[in-house]
Chain A
Amino acid sequence: MPNHQLLDNVRHKDLRILTLHQPAFGENASYGHVYLSEFRYVQGEYPILFRKNTDTAQFEAIALFGLAAEENLFMEENGWNASYVPLTVQRRPFLIGFQQDNQAEPKPVVHVDMDSPRISKSTTEGEAVFLPQGGQTPYLQHINSVLGRIHSGHIENKTFIDTLLQHELIESVAIKMELHDGSKLEFNNLYTINEEKLNALPADTLFTLHQQGYVNLIYMMIASMATLSRLIDMKNKRVRGI
Chain B
Amino acid sequence: MDKTTRIITIVGGGTAGWLTAGVIAAEHMANSEQGIEVRLIESPDVNIVGVGEGTWPTMRGTLKKMGISETDFIRECDASFKQGAKFAKWVTGAENDAYYHPLVLPQGYEEINLVPFWQPHGDKVSFADAVSFQGHLCERGLAPKQNTTPEYAHVANYAYHLDAGKFAVFLQKHCTQKLGVKHILDHVIQVNAAENGDIASLTTKNSGDISGDLFIDCSGFNALLIGQHYQVPFICKKHILFNDSALACHVPYANKNDAIVSHTVSTGQSAGWIWDIGLPSRRGVGHVYSSTHISDAKAEAELRDYIRTSRADIADELTIRKIDIKPGHREVFWHNNCVAVGLSAGFLEPLEASALVLVELSAQMISEQLPASRAVMDIVAKRFNDKFLYRWDRIIDFLKLHYVLTKRTDSQYWIDNCKAETIPQALQSLLTLWRYESPWHHDFTQVDEVFPSASYQYVLYGMGFETLSRATQRRSQNAQQAEQQFRKNTELSQKLVAGLPTNRDLINKIHQYGLQKI
| A interface residues (Cβ-Cβ under 8 A, vs B) | 52, 54-59, 165, 168, 170-172, 189, 191
Besides A57-B146, A168-B518, 5 new A-B residue pairs in contact (Cβ under 8 A), listed by A number: A54-B148, A56-B147, A57-B509, A57-B516, A191-B518
In the bound complex, residues from chain B placing their C-beta under 8 Å from that of A54 are 147-148
CA distance A54 to B500 in the complex (A): 12
Q: Is the CB of A56 within 8 A of B516?
A: no
Report the interface size for chain B: residues with CB under 8 A from the other chain. Answer: 11
| B interface residues (Cβ-Cβ under 8 A, vs A) | 146-148, 509, 512-518
Closest to B513 in A: A56
CA distance A172 to B150 in the complex (A): 11
- With A52-B148, A189-B148 known as contacts, the answer to whether A57 contacts B518 (CB < 8 A) is no
Residue from the list B147, B509, B512, B517 in contact with A165, Cβ < 8 A: B517
CA distance A168 to B517 in the complex (A): 9
CA distance A172 to B512 in the complex (A): 23
Residue from the list B509, B514, B515, B518 in contact with A172, Cβ < 8 A: B518
- With A52-B148, A54-B148, A189-B148 known as contacts, the answer to whether A59 contacts B516 (CB < 8 A) is yes
In the bound complex, residues from chain B placing their C-beta under 8 Å from that of A165 are 516-517
Q: Is the CB of A58 within 8 A of B517?
A: no
- With A52-B148, A189-B148 known as contacts, the answer to whether A57 contacts B515 (CB < 8 A) is yes
Closest Cβ of chain A to B510, distance in Å, is: 9
Q: What are 17 A-B pairs with beta-carbon distances under 8 A?
A: A56-B147, A56-B509, A56-B513, A57-B146, A57-B148, A57-B509, A57-B513, A57-B514, A57-B515, A57-B516, A58-B513, A58-B516, A165-B516, A165-B517, A170-B518, A189-B148, A191-B518
Closest Cβ of chain B to A158, distance in Å, is: 12
In the bound complex, residues from chain A placing their C-beta under 8 Å from that of B146 are 57
In the bound complex, residues from chain A placing their C-beta under 8 Å from that of B517 are 165, 168
In the bound complex, residues from chain A placing their C-beta under 8 Å from that of B509 are 56-57
Closest to A172 in B: B518
Closest Cβ of chain A to B189, distance in Å, is: 46
CA distance A10 to B514 in the complex (A): 45
Q: Is the CB of A52 within 8 A of B516?
A: yes
CA distance A19 to B384 in the complex (A): 75
CA distance A171 to B146 in the complex (A): 18
In the bound complex, residues from chain B placing their C-beta under 8 Å from that of A55 are 147
In the bound complex, residues from chain A placing their C-beta under 8 Å from that of B147 are 54-57
In the bound complex, residues from chain A placing their C-beta under 8 Å from that of B514 are 57
Closest Cβ of chain B to A14, distance in Å, is: 43
Closest to A191 in B: B518
Closest Cβ of chain B to A51, distance in Å, is: 9
In the bound complex, residues from chain B placing their C-beta under 8 Å from that of A189 are 148
Closest Cβ of chain A to B323, distance in Å, is: 39
Closest Cβ of chain A to B146, distance in Å, is: 8
In the bound complex, residues from chain B placing their C-beta under 8 Å from that of A171 are 518
Closest Cβ of chain A to B508, distance in Å, is: 12
CA distance A165 to B515 in the complex (A): 12
CA distance A54 to B149 in the complex (A): 10
CA distance A58 to B509 in the complex (A): 11
Closest to A51 in B: B148
Closest Cβ of chain B to A124, distance in Å, is: 48
Closest to A56 in B: B513
CA distance A239 to B59 in the complex (A): 48
In the bound complex, residues from chain B placing their C-beta under 8 Å from that of A56 are 147, 509, 512-513
Closest Cβ of chain B to A11, distance in Å, is: 37
List the 7 closest A-B pairs by CB distance, nearest first. Answer: A57-B147, A52-B148, A56-B513, A57-B148, A57-B513, A57-B516, A172-B518
In the bound complex, residues from chain B placing their C-beta under 8 Å from that of A52 are 148, 516
CA distance A168 to B150 in the complex (A): 13
Closest Cβ of chain A to B495, distance in Å, is: 15
CA distance A170 to B514 in the complex (A): 17
CA distance A75 to B418 in the complex (A): 73
CA distance A172 to B517 in the complex (A): 11
CA distance A172 to B148 in the complex (A): 12
Closest Cβ of chain A to B507, distance in Å, is: 13
CA distance A59 to B513 in the complex (A): 11
Closest Cβ of chain A to B67, distance in Å, is: 13
CA distance A55 to B518 in the complex (A): 16
CA distance A210 to B515 in the complex (A): 28
Closest to B506 in A: A57
In the bound complex, residues from chain B placing their C-beta under 8 Å from that of A172 are 518
CA distance A52 to B148 in the complex (A): 6
CA distance A59 to B515 in the complex (A): 11
In the bound complex, residues from chain A placing their C-beta under 8 Å from that of B512 are 56
Closest Cβ of chain A to B313, distance in Å, is: 35
CA distance A33 to B518 in the complex (A): 20
Closest Cβ of chain B to A15, distance in Å, is: 38
Closest Cβ of chain B to A188, distance in Å, is: 11
